[in-house]
C-alpha cells in the first residue's frame, strides 16, 4: 500500500474512534425521583460507583454526575440501596458524597367514608416508628392529610372510635404509590396504585432517552 494512503487510513480510523468515544458537551438533566446508577452515562456511572465504594469521589475536572441528575431532588439507586447525593465545591475541586437513605414521599390522604360526621383516634406507624398520632373530627366525605415525614417502606394505620375499630397495612416505593385511606362502618381500607416509572437514559448526544 502507498505510504501516504496507509497513513491517511490510520488517521481517519483514529478520528472515527475518537468521535465514537467522545463525551457530549452537555447532558440533559433527569428530574425523576429515582435515578438508577446502571442507567447513567459511563462517566457518571464510574463517578457514582467510586463514591459508593470509597465514600466519595473527587475531581478537579468535569463532574458529569451533577449534570445528569438534580442532586437536591433526586436519589441514586444501586443494588436495592438508595443514596442521597451531596455535591460540594472548593476552588477547582468538586466532591461527591453519597449517603444511604430512605427516599421521601408524599403522605397518605384519609377520607371519612362513614355516612355521617365522625370522630376517631388515628395512629400511623412506619417501620415500627409512630409518625402520626391524632384525634380527628371529620365531616361526612371530608378528607385530610398529615403533616409528617413520610418515606418509602411499610405502614400500618389503626383507627379507633365508637363507630369503627380497625387497622390496615400498605407499602410505598418506586412501584407503589402512597395510599388513600378510607374509614367506613366496615373498617379501614388502604387503596393505592401500582406504577411503572420510566427510567432515564441518555443518547450519544447527551439528550434524555426516557425508557
> Would you say residue 196 lies in a domain?
no
Domain encompassing residue 61 = 25-101
pTM of the model: 0.79
Which pLDDT belongs to residue 11?
38
Rounded CA gap, 166 and 186, in Å? 9
Which pLDDT belongs to residue 195?
86
> Would you say residue 77 lies in a domain?
yes
Same domain, 131 and 160: yes
Same domain, 117 and 173: yes
> Would you say residue 62 lies in a domain?
yes
User: Which of the listed residues 74, 101, 128 is the one where a domain comes to its end?
Assistant: 101
Which pLDDT belongs to residue 119?
94
Total number of domains constituting the chain: 2
> Would you say residue 205 lies in a domain?
no
> Would you say residue 9 lies in a domain?
no
Same domain, 80 and 130: no
Rounded CA gap, 71 and 47, in Å? 14
> Would you say residue 131 lies in a domain?
yes
Which pLDDT belongs to residue 209?
83
Same domain, 37 and 94: yes
> Would you say residue 58 lies in a domain?
yes
User: 3-class SS at 168?
Assistant: strand
Which pLDDT belongs to residue 210?
80
Same domain, 62 and 132: no
Q: What string of pLDDT tens digits covers the 211 residues of the chain?
A: 443 433 333 333 333 333 335 778 889 999 999 999 999 999 999 999 999 999 899 999 999 999 999 999 999 999 999 999 999 988 888 999 999 999 999 999 999 999 999 999 999 999 989 999 999 999 999 999 999 999 999 999 999 998 899 999 999 999 999 999 999 999 999 999 998 888 999 999 999 888 7
Same domain, 52 and 72: yes
Q: What is the CATH number of the domain that holds 114?
A: 2.60.40.4150
> Would you say residue 184 lies in a domain?
yes
Enumerate residues 6+ apart whose C-beta is below 8 A from 50.
57
Amino acid at each position: 500500500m502507498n505510504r501516504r494512503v496507509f497513513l491517511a487510513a490510520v488517521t481517519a480510523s483514529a478520528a472515527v474512534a475518537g468521535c465514537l468515544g467522545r463525551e457530549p458537551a452537555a447532558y440533559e438533566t433527569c428530574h425523576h425521583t429515582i435515578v438508577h446508577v446502571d442507567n447513567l452515562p459511563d462517566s457518571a456511572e464510574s463517578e457514582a460507583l467510586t463514591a459508593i465504594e470509597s465514600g466519595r469521589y473527587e475531581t478537579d475536572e468535569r463532574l458529569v454526575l451533577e449534570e445528569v441528575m438534580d442532586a437536591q431532588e433526586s436519589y441514586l439507586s444501586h443494588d436495592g440501596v438508595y443514596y442521597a447525593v451531596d455535591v460540594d465545591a472548593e476552588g477547582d475541586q468538586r466532591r461527591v458524597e453519597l449517603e444511604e437513605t430512605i427516599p421521601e414521599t408524599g403522605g397518605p390522604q384519609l377520607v371519612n367514608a362513614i355516612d355521617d360526621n365522625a370522630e376517631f383516634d388515628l395512629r400511623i406507624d412506619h417501620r415500627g416508628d409512630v409518625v402520626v398520632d391524632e384525634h380527628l373530627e371529620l365531616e361526612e366525605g371530608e378528607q385530610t392529610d398529615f403533616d409528617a415525614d413520610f418515606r418509602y417502606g411499610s405502614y400500618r394505620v389503626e383507627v379507633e372510635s365508637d363507630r369503627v375499630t380497625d387497622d390496615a397495612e400498605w407499602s410505598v416505593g418506586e412501584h407503589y404509590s402512597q395510599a388513600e385511606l378510607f374509614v367506613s362502618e366496615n373498617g379501614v381500607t388502604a387503596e393505592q396504585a401500582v406504577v411503572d416509572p420510566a427510567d432515564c437514559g441518555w443518547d450519544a448526544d447527551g439528550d434524555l432517552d426516557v425508557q
